[in-house]
Structure 1
Amino acid sequence: MRVATLRDGSPDGRLVLVAEDGATCRPAAARTLQAALDDGSGAGFEAAGEARPFDPAAAMAPLPRAFLFLDGSAYVNHVDLVRRARGAEMPARFWHDPLMYQGHSVFDGPRAPIRGAPEWGIDFEAEVAVMTRAVPRGTSPGEARALVAFVTLLNDVSLRALIPEELSKGFGFVQSKPASSCAPLAVAPDDLPGWDGGRLHGALRVDLNGRPFGRAEAGEDMTFDFPRLIAHAARTRDLSAGTVIGSGTVSNRDAGGGPGRPVAEGGRGYSCLAEQRMVETLQTGAPVTPFLAGGDRVTIRMEDGSGRDLFGTIEQVVDTAPA
């Protein structure tokens, strides 16, 4: 099953079922994805109208307003690079206890502009994300495997220059983490050939201004799979149906165990600017790659092993005009 939410003038849009080839869609019985997930019977995902052409440009985020967005850091290679670049040792517990924060749960569509002031250090973060069914408190990772309802991609926009001051207060992200943007489609795990029950295997293709920037393999180097992240989040609370859980920045090591190389040098590149800047700092003592500027264009999509586009494309242009 492939679903999308089309703009209809309301904050939550209109849920549609998208054909496997992505060419057409049909209205779903439930008006919104949240309503269909809340129902739990599956009836909301039945078709309730005639087929019409599907236009990804008319898509909102599949779930524009979630009750909860939790973003993990499942690719510990990324965390390791962040800390190494500032000369900090990574605690051993990071390899067995996931990092996670509670983010902004209103999501932009795949073609919304990335807004911010240049001095804020605007960055993209290409991630895989899941939407859950209702998750009871205390759910185990084994139980959580059956509670993944849909999988999608998101761009977790980060304002890097604002992060250090916020974290120095010891109370997490707020201003430095604005709305994330989602791919046009959310896909049920059974319809994703690269889904192994906990990880999504596929090539995450990130381009910056039309040039290849990242070609990470999302199924590799993921220390904590999604069932583990879900169980971590549900340790002390119930999770409502439609909770969105992000993987954190997808990050691969080199075959030799190194921090990774740019695509232009034959590597898989990176899924955010900060990681390339970290590698530059480790190698030369200072970053070279700038953060995003007005007019920069970021595209994010994922392909399966046969080259098929799984979720449609996130395509965003940076807008630095004052609010």
Structure 2
Amino acid sequence: MKYGTIRIPGEPIWKTPFPDGRLVQVSESLGILGREVRETMQSALDRGFGGLQSNHSEEFSEFEFAAPLPRAYQFLDASAYVNHVDLVRRARGAEMPERFWADPLMYQGGSDMFLGPCDPITGDPAWGIDFEAEIAVITDLIEMGSSRDEAAGAIRLVMLLNDISLRNLIPDELLKGFGFVQSKPACACSPVAVTPDALPGWDGGKLHGTLCVDLNGAPFGRAEAGEDMTFDFGVLLAHAAKTRHLGPGTVLGSGTVSNRDADGGPGRPVADGGRGYSCIAEQRMVETLRDGAPSTEFLKPGDRVKIWMNDDAGNSIFGEIYQTVAPWEGA
């Protein structure tokens, strides 16, 4: 089954009297079903998440959708693809601790306001605006101390995520030793979230398939999401639940999807026959390792980012995240 959340017409969703939107079922071909239902995604998760029982299909437009879960009780983001972490450290000449391959990296991010798939990216270009294409899951209740299999069994929905990052603000925040706040603004989500049983590429803990990223209409990333994922979602969720319960509606992101080359190298741009990258920072890291300095710029006003995944027949699974960087009007 596929689901999404329709915006209530009017102001941006966080300014309306209905910030949680209205849950709809989405057909396999991405038609809207069940528009008449008066329910939110969170209430459906709380009651056990059954089908909406509607057969009337309407035209689909990403611009009509909010994030599947516009407000979540909890958002966690991991670095499941340790190749990405390895590149970050190698580019600055730092050794990576061996324990990073066995002990997941994870932080708790803002969840009070997820962006819809077509909401603009805003911010000062001097902050180093970047996208991060990720896979994310939405869970049912996971009790403290759950095993990997128990945690994986509580995954109710899978979606795509753009974890927008402000790269030039990250170093100072990390030096404080207290995690991200300013450098991690609201994430954007795909319009559609899909139950695991409706995903042929789902193996119980990972989603196999090509995660596509275009930047300004040109291919930027074609990473294989099921490869090089050091920690699957079951492992990540069990890690998060070691000392706490995870409530229904917890969102967990995979971190930047990242692949090595077949020879173990750091990966090549799509234009050079490689799989490319799921964020600009990773391409800049590879440029630093190869050329001694990065040459690709971070995002600027007018830049367009598209993130999506197709099935084997070429049909979009989750719809598209399609965002434009808006002119900055801040101080």
Q: Is the 8 A contact 1:216 1:251 kept in 2?
A: yes
Q: Is the 8 A contact 2:34 2:52 kept in 1?
A: no
Matched, 1:7 2:7: yes
**Shift of the alpha carbon at 1:166?**
0.4
Q: How does 1:257-296 map to 2 (within 5 A)?
A: 257-296=264-303
Which of 134, 141, 145 in structure 2 is aligned with 1:138? 145
SS in 1 for 2:171: helix
**Shift of the alpha carbon at 1:185?**
0.1
Distance 2:57 2:203 in 1: 31
- For the aligned residues, what is the CA RMSD? 1.3
In terms of mean alpha carbon deviation, does 140-149 or 26-35 score higher?
A: 26-35
Corresponding residue for residue 227 of structure 1: 234
Matched, 1:186 2:202: no
Q: Report the CA distance shift for 1:35/1:176 in structure 2 as closer, same or farther (over 3 A).
A: same
Matched, 1:16 2:3: no
**Shift of the alpha carbon at 1:30?**
5.7
Q: Report the CA distance shift for 1:84/1:28 in structure 2 as closer, same or farther (over 3 A).
A: farther
Q: Is the 8 A contact 2:33 2:55 kept in 1?
A: no
Which of 163, 167, 174 in structure 1 is aligned with 2:181? 174
Q: Is the 8 A contact 2:164 2:186 kept in 1?
A: yes
Number of aligned residue pairs:
321
Q: Is the 8 A contact 1:30 1:36 kept in 2?
A: no
Matched, 1:66 2:78: no
Distance 1:86 1:185 in 2: 37
**Shift of the alpha carbon at 1:49?**
8.3
Corresponding residue for residue 89 of structure 1: 95
**Shift of the alpha carbon at 1:306?**
2.8
Q: Is the 8 A contact 1:110 1:313 kept in 2?
A: yes
**Shift of the alpha carbon at 1:319?**
1.3
The TM-score normalised by the length of structure 2 is 0.94
In terms of mean alpha carbon deviation, does 48-57 or 243-252 score higher?
A: 48-57
Paired amino acid for 1:251: S
Q: Report the CA distance shift for 1:293/1:57 in structure 2 as closer, same or farther (over 3 A).
A: same
SS in 1 for 2:288: helix
Q: Is the 8 A contact 2:66 2:115 kept in 1?
A: yes
Q: Percent identity?
A: 64
Matched, 1:256 2:273: no
Cα deviations by residue, 1:250-292 (Å, 9 ceiling, x for unpaired): 0000000000000000000000000000000011111000000
**Shift of the alpha carbon at 1:28?**
7.1
SS in 2 for 1:277: helix
Q: Report the CA distance shift for 1:315/1:249 in structure 2 as closer, same or farther (over 3 A).
A: same
**Shift of the alpha carbon at 1:19?**
1.1
Matched, 1:308 2:315: yes
Matched, 1:46 2:52: yes
SS in 2 for 1:115: coil
Paired amino acid for 2:6: L
**Shift of the alpha carbon at 1:195?**
0.3
Matched, 1:245 2:245: no
Paired amino acid for 1:95: W
Give unmatched runs, 5+ long, in structure 1: none
**Shift of the alpha carbon at 1:104?**
1.1
Q: Is the 8 A contact 1:71 1:246 kept in 2?
A: yes
**Shift of the alpha carbon at 1:305?**
2.7
The TM-score normalised by the length of structure 1 is 0.97
Q: Is the 8 A contact 2:24 2:52 kept in 1?
A: no
Give unmatched runs, 5+ long, in structure 2: 9-15
In terms of mean alpha carbon deviation, does 304-313 or 27-36 score higher?
A: 27-36
Distance 1:296 1:29 in 2: 36
**Shift of the alpha carbon at 1:53?**
2.8
Q: Is the 8 A contact 2:306 2:321 kept in 1?
A: yes
Paired amino acid for 2:214: D
Distance 1:153 1:260 in 2: 22
Cα deviations by residue, 1:33-82 (Å, 9 ceiling, x for unpaired): 00000112x34x32368543333220000000000000000000000000
Q: Is the 8 A contact 1:123 1:274 kept in 2?
A: yes
Paired amino acid for 1:99: L
In terms of mean alpha carbon deviation, does 50-59 or 208-217 score higher?
A: 50-59
Distance 1:51 1:114 in 2: 31
SS in 2 for 1:27: coil
Paired amino acid for 2:28: E
Matched, 1:26 2:40: no
